Amino acid sequence: MRRLLRIIFVSYMLVLILLGFFQRRLLYHPRKSPDLSVAQFGDITSIFPAASDVSIRCTDGITIRGWLLHNEAVDPHTDVVRRPLVIFFHGNAGDRAGRVGWYRIFQQAGADVLAMDYHGYGDSEGAMSESAMQADCVATWNYATETLGYKPADIIVAGTSLGGAAAVLTAVAHVQPDDIPAGLLVVATFSSMVDVAGSTYPWLPVKAILVDRYPSDTRIPTVKCPVVVLHGDRDTLVDQQFGRKLFDAAAATSADGTPKQWVSMTNVNHNNLAEAGRKFVLPELQSLIERWQQRQ
């Protein structure tokens, strides 16, 4: 019996060591590509004829790449913005090229899109981590506001799954009266990675070994822009309870008095968000854009 217990203990410790060492490989699943020039993707340029490629250098020296998706060349510096800009952060797998369904939703809602790949994803340089994501968020926001010239009030920050944590990070950084985005919209995201990992691996001391924690529920209370949280009721990867916990942590109303919005997406799971979730996401996004239009 003692020998058996010793074997179990040693095996458990080995598993902990291996999971601790390889945890980022379990969390991040990038698809690498040497070239994701938007001109190669006819399904993208057909809905955004003026789409262009974007390269942004982050504060850590890494260059990330993405797309600016719009229908016509518009110079926000002229103060004539016909469509709001959605900064879109995708989930933990693949790259920006696999999100056509989301781009169609944004286009139908009447928004242009800035979609960047994180460190180590697609044709971006570097390797992914929570600190790398923070650098991506800062660089992307600065590019939208400084290089492209969009005012914060013309930008909606959106994200799905892990991208929801990036969207929260971005919105949290901009809470001053003259620096508040037009809205924060997150889909199938979570309260914290500790909650999700602890639910997935209840037999592990997740709090002790997890490096990238993404504590969105402790960050979101300071967000001042309108908040919309959507989550599928059939989600088996990120249980809906964690999306609800994030929603509950947000302030009841935004700085302009807009109540936060929770949407439970019926018969939607984690892998069919853009398809089955479209009928839930589109009206919420359109509502944010209507509020934006009223302020113009």
Structural domains of the chain ordered from first start: 30-294 (3.40.50.1820)
Q: Could you list the beta-strand ranges (E) of the chain.
A: 29-30, 52-57, 63-69, 85-89, 93-94, 112-116, 155-160, 183-187, 227-232, 261-265
In this prediction, residue 280 has a pLDDT band, given cuts at 50, 70 and 90, of very high
* Alpha-carbon Rg for the chain in angstroms: 20
Q: What percent of the chain has pLDDT over 90?
A: 83
**251 has pLDDT over 60:** yes
Separation between Cα atoms, residue 56 and residue 140, nearest integer Å: 7
Residues forming a β-bridge with 160: 187
Its pTM stands at 0.93
pLDDT in tens, 156-169: 999 999 999 999 99
Please give the pLDDT value at position 20: 66
pLDDT in tens, 86-119: 999 999 999 999 999 999 999 999 999 999 999 9
In this prediction, residue 218 has a pLDDT band, given cuts at 50, 70 and 90, of very high
pLDDT in tens, 193-215: 999 999 988 878 888 889 999 99
Higher confidence at residue 5 or residue 116?
Answer: 116
Phi, psi of 63 (to 5 degrees): -100, 125
The 112-116 sheet, strands edge to edge = 52-57, 63-69, 112-116, 85-89, 155-160, 183-187, 227-232, 261-265
**192 has pLDDT over 90:** yes
In this prediction, residue 22 has a pLDDT band, given cuts at 50, 70 and 90, of confident
- Of 282, 272, 225, the C-alpha closest to 107 is 282
Q: Any alpha helices (H) in 38-99, and if so which ranges?
A: 42-45
Please give the pLDDT value at position 12: 60
- Of 289, 296, 294, the C-alpha closest to 85 is 289
Q: Which residues are within 8 A (CB) of 270 and not within 5 positions of it... i.e. 6 or more apart?
A: 161, 188, 232, 235, 236, 237, 238
Please give the pLDDT value at position 8: 61
Amino acid at 26: L
Phi, psi of 86 (to 5 degrees): -95, 120
In this prediction, residue 296 has a pLDDT band, given cuts at 50, 70 and 90, of confident
Mean per-residue pLDDT for 177-181? 96
**249 has pLDDT over 80:** yes
Name which of 14-23, 97-106, 247-256 the model is least confident about: 14-23
